[in-house]
Chains A and B, each alone.
Chain A
Amino acid sequence: MSDTFTPKSYDGEREITWCPGCGDYGIIAGVKQALAQLQLPPHQAFFVSGIGCGSKMPDYLKANGYLGLHGRTLPIAQGVKLANHDLKVIITVGDGDSFGIGAGHFVHALRRNSDLTMIVEDNKVYALTKGQYSPLSARGWISSTTPDGSIETEFNPLLMAITGGATFVARTFSGDPKHMAQTFAKAIQHKGFAFVDVLQVCVIYNSVNTTEWYRPRVYKLDDDATYNPRDYNAAIQKAYEWGDKIPIGVLYVDERPTYEDRVAALAQGALVKQPLAGYSQATWNEFRATMM
C-alpha cells in the first residue's frame, strides 16, 4: 500500500532555528510521523501554538496554523474547533506557556472535553527567555530568578489533566521517536480532549533532565499487561510516579461526549459551512412577533 502522505509531506520550507540537540527536533519528527500514519492531509490539520521555543513548531510544518500569544493557545483552539469541527486541531506548546501564564485556560479546557490534542513540550524551564524556572521546575531548581533554588512546589500536569476531566492523558519522551509517533497518533485519533506531556530535553537551560538522565528511568506502560488506562484511580497513582521510575505511554483514557457534540448549533454541520445569512422571512417574522 503506498501512502499519499509521508512525514515529508508535512515539511515546512523554513530553516529550523532550534539549538542542535534540542528535544524539539525529535518532537516535530514524531508529529510528522503521526500525521503520516493517520494520512491526515495538511489542509485538514490546524495547529495552534503560543510563544516559546517549542511553540515555533507550526512555523516549521506544512499545515494550517496559528501562532498566537504566550499562554493563550487553548481558547484560540476551542474557538477554531467550534467554528470548524471538521479540522483536526492540535496544540503544540511549552510548559511555561501551558501552566504558567496559561494555567487558567488549561483548567477550563479540561472540563469541556473539546475534541483537541494538546502536546506539551515539557523542558521544565522557560527556554526562549533564557532559562528562568517554570511551574514544572522542581523545588530547589536554580535559575536566574531563583538563584537560591525555587521555593515552590512543582505543578503535576498529568494529575491535573486526569482529575480535571481530560479523556486522554499520556506521557512520552523526546528521546524515543517511535513512542512519540505512536502516542501522538493515538492522541490525535482520540475523540475528546487529549493531553500529551512530552519530556523534552533542553540542551542549553536544563542540564539535569537530559537524555542520559531520562533514558534509564522511563519505562513503557504498554509493557505492563496489568496496567489498565481505564482505571481512574490507577491512573492517578501513575501520575504521581517520578524519580527513579518514570512511566510513559497512555495513563488514562475514557470516552465521553465532546463539547462540540453537545452544542446544538453544530448538529447541522460545521458552523463555517452553514450559510452566512440563511434565515428565512418566516424565522424573522416569528422573531418579530416575540418582541411585540
Chain B
Amino acid sequence: MITNNLTIRIGGEAGQGMDTSGAGFARALVRSGLHIFANSDFMSRIRGGYNFYQLRVSDKPIYAPHDAAHLLLAFNQDALTQSLNDLAPGGAIIHDASIQFDPGARNVKAFAFPFEAKALEIGRAAGMDPKRAKLMANTAALGATAALTSFPFERIADVIAQNFGKKKGSAIAEANLTMARWAYDDALQSADQFAWKIAPPADPTNRMILNGNQAIGLGAIAAGCKLIAAYPMTPATSIIEFMTAQAKRFNLVTKQTEDEIAAILYAIGANQVGVRAMCATSGGGFSLMVEALGMAGMTETPLVVVDSQRPGPSTGMPTRTGQGDLLFVMHASQDEFPRIVLAPGGVESCYADTARAFNLAEKYQCPVLILTDAFQAFAARSVGVEELPFEKFRIERGKTLTDAQLDQFKPGEYKRYALTDDGISPRAIPGHPNAVYTSTSDEHTEFGRIKDEDAANRVAQHSKRMRKLETIKREMRMPEWYGPADASITLMGWGSTRYVIREAVDLLNARGVRANALHFTDIYPLDEARLEEELNKAKRLIDVEGNYTAQLAQVVRVYTGRAVDDKILKYDGRPFTGAEIADAVPNIARK
C-alpha cells in the first residue's frame, strides 16, 4: 500500500466538466491538509475532443506534475485509449459502463460504473434537464475515487454541497450528493484492489490553491498595480479575468481593449501619469505591442508586460506550452533601450517576481517583461499562507519625486531627462505646477523637448538611457543552484521548468548520477563577470529548454563565452516532466 503519493487523471471531452469536478476534489484534499499539484491539458475547442485534468496528491509540498497516473477517470473512449500508456503499473481505470474496455495482459485494473445512466435516473427524479443531469457523472466518479483511495466521504460531500448549494439551488446539490454516495458505496467493495491510498493528516493547515496566472495577478495587486489592460489571448487571458474578478475588492481598473496595441498604450498612459499599470498577452499579442514597447523605452516610462508563451510562430498551438519567446522579448523593437526580462518559475515566484517587476519598472524607469507559459499559467498548487506574504510587500519607487520634493523646484527648472551618472533621472508625476513637462518618442533634450537631429544631444541622451543597464545589473539576481555542489552534471533552465528540473536532479541522484541544477529567473540584464563565476562551478552543462534553438544557451554564451555541453530540447507543445529529463541524461552521457 502506498499512502499520500498518487496522481489522478480525469479525462474526457471539453464541456463534460472535468475541470470543475477535479478542482472540487483538489479543494477537498487541500482542506484536509494534503498538498496538491494540478495541471490541465486541453484542446483549443469549446466542446468535444480529449482534455484532461491531472491532480497529484502528497502530504509534502509538491511543485511539479508526475509523469504517470495511478488512477484514470475516463469519461470518453479517447480519454481511455490516449491515457492508457501514461498509467502506472498496478494503476486503475474508472470508466463509464458504456465504454468498452478489456485490460487484457496489461497490469491495470478497470472498474466500470453506469455513471451516465444513473445520473439521468437521479436527475429525472430531481427534475433536472438531462444535459445538466449528465454532468453529475463527474460527481459520481469522484465518489468512486474517494472510495478506492479510502479518502473520507464527508470531505468531498462538503465541497459538493458548497459547490452546488450556494449558486445552483439545493435540489441540485442533493442530487449530486446522492450520486456521489451511490458511487462511493458501490466502489467501496473494490477498494482493496487499489494500492494507492489518501490519508488526511490529523491536523490540517489552511492553504490556498493558486495557479501561475492567478499568482501573477496577485503579485501585481500586492505591488500596487491599479490598472490592467489586455485583449483576450490564451494562455494570458486568465490574468485579466482574475484581476477583474478581484476588481471590487482591491479597487482595480481592468480594461479589455480593442487590441493588444491599445492594451500596452493604456498601460503606458497610466504609468506615465503615475499609476502602476500592466498588460498581459501571449506572443502574437506581444508582436503587436512591440512599437509601443520601444516608445516606453524611449520615454522612460515604467511598464510591466507579461508574455505567456505558447508555441508559434503565428497562431501556433493556442492551448499548448513552450519557451520560444526568450530571444524575441529580449530584442523586440528597433534600436536599443534598457529593459528587464524576468522568467518566474513556480506559483510563489509568479507572485513574488511580478510584484518585484513593478518596483524594478519604477526604479529603473523602463519596461519589465515577464515570461511565463501555458503550462505555468494553468498549473495550480496548494500554497501556504506564509508563502505569499501580501501585506509585507515593500513598495520602492526609486527616484520618483514626491510633492514635497517638487515644491522645492522653481518653475521651469525641472528636467525630466536630466543627465545622471546612474542613468536614472528624477521623475515627476505630471500634475505639479513646478514640473510641467512633455515626453516624446522622438529623441529629446533633458527637458523632454524634441531634438531629433543633434548628434551630441543624441549621444548624451542615448548613453544616459543605456547607462541604466549597468545600474540595473547590480540588483539583478544570479541563477539559483539546486542539488549537490560537487555534481558532475548541471542541468540549466529558465522560467517554468524550475521544479521539473529539480525533480530530474533528484531522480538522477537517486540513480547514482551526481547532478545539480542552475535555474534562471532574472535573465536580462545580468552581470557578465558574476555569471561567469557561477558557470565556472558547472562541470558538464546541459541546457534544458522548451524551444528548438536553445535560446538561453545562446544568451549565456553571449554573456560569458561559455558554451553548453549538451541540450535537452522539446517543442512539441507539451510540458517537460522530471522523469523525461532524467531519462534523457544517460543518452547524452553516452555520446
Given A46-B273, A292-B207, do A79 and B229 touch, yes or no (CB 8 Å)?
Answer: yes
Set of chain A residues within 8 Å of B390, measured between Cβ atoms: 279, 284
Residues in B lying within 8 Å of A, measured CB to CB: 27, 30-31, 206-210, 214, 221-224, 226-227, 229, 246-253, 255, 257-259, 261-263, 265-277, 291-292, 295, 299, 385, 390-391, 393, 395, 412, 429-433, 435-442, 449-450
Selecting from A63-71, A144-152, A156-164, A193-201, the interface stretch reads A63-71
- Interface contact B295-A69, CB-CB below 8 Å: yes
- Interface contact A43-B436, CB-CB below 8 Å: yes
Closest to B221 in A: A279
Set of chain A residues within 8 Å of B251, measured between Cβ atoms: 264-265, 268, 274
- Interface contact A66-B299, CB-CB below 8 Å: yes
Set A56, A105, A107: member contacting B450, Cβ < 8 A: A56
Name 29 interchain pairs, CB-CB below 8 A, sorted by A.
Answer: A12-B449, A43-B431, A51-B441, A63-B438, A64-B436, A65-B438, A75-B257, A78-B269, A79-B265, A79-B266, A79-B267, A79-B277, A83-B270, A87-B430, A87-B431, A107-B258, A265-B251, A265-B253, A268-B251, A271-B275, A272-B273, A272-B275, A272-B429, A274-B251, A276-B224, A279-B390, A286-B249, A288-B206, A292-B27
Cα distance A74–B440 when bound, in Å? 15
Interface size, A (range): 35 or more
Set of chain B residues within 8 Å of A75, measured between Cβ atoms: 257-258, 261-263, 265-266, 269
Fill in one digit per residue for A1-33: 1 if any B CB lies within 8 Å of its CB, else 0. 000000000001110000000000000000000
Cβ distance A56 to chain B, nearest Cβ, rounded Å: 7
- Interface contact B449-A14, CB-CB below 8 Å: yes
- Interface contact A67-B442, CB-CB below 8 Å: yes
Set B249, B433, B442: member contacting A283, Cβ < 8 A: B249
- Interface contact A80-B208, CB-CB below 8 Å: no
Fill in one digit per residue for A257-275: 1 if any B CB lies within 8 Å of its CB, else 0. 0000001111010011010
Set of chain B residues within 8 Å of A87, measured between Cβ atoms: 273, 430-431
Cβ distance A105 to chain B, nearest Cβ, rounded Å: 6
Set B30, B266, B433: member contacting A82, Cβ < 8 A: B266
Determine if A86 is an interface residue (Cβ-Cβ < 8 Å): yes
Cα distance A276–B226 when bound, in Å? 8
Cβ distance A97 to chain B, nearest Cβ, rounded Å: 13
Closest to B262 in A: A75
Cβ distance A281 to chain B, nearest Cβ, rounded Å: 6
Cα distance A16–B149 when bound, in Å? 79
Set B250, B265, B267: member contacting A68, Cβ < 8 A: B265
Closest to A108 in B: B258
Closest to B254 in A: A265
Cβ distance B121 to chain A, nearest Cβ, rounded Å: 34
Determine if A238 is an interface residue (Cβ-Cβ < 8 Å): no
Cα distance A62–B270 when bound, in Å? 21
Set of chain B residues within 8 Å of A58, measured between Cβ atoms: 438
Cβ distance A47 to chain B, nearest Cβ, rounded Å: 8
Set B27, B229, B255, B273: member contacting A80, Cβ < 8 A: B273
- Interface contact B210-A277, CB-CB below 8 Å: no
- Interface contact B275-A66, CB-CB below 8 Å: no
Q: Which of A52-97 contact B (CB under 8 A)?
A: 56, 58-59, 61-69, 72, 74-84, 86-87
Cβ distance B395 to chain A, nearest Cβ, rounded Å: 5
- Interface contact A62-B295, CB-CB below 8 Å: no
Determine if A42 is an interface residue (Cβ-Cβ < 8 Å): yes
- Interface contact B442-A292, CB-CB below 8 Å: no
Cα distance A69–B262 when bound, in Å? 12
- Interface contact B226-A79, CB-CB below 8 Å: no
- Interface contact B247-A271, CB-CB below 8 Å: no
Cα distance A69–B442 when bound, in Å? 9
- Interface contact B269-A67, CB-CB below 8 Å: no
Closest to A76 in B: B269
Known pairs A75-B261, A265-B252. 20 more at Cβ < 8 A? A12-B449, A42-B436, A58-B438, A59-B438, A59-B450, A63-B436, A64-B430, A68-B268, A69-B292, A69-B295, A72-B291, A75-B265, A78-B269, A79-B272, A82-B253, A83-B273, A105-B261, A264-B248, A277-B223, A292-B207
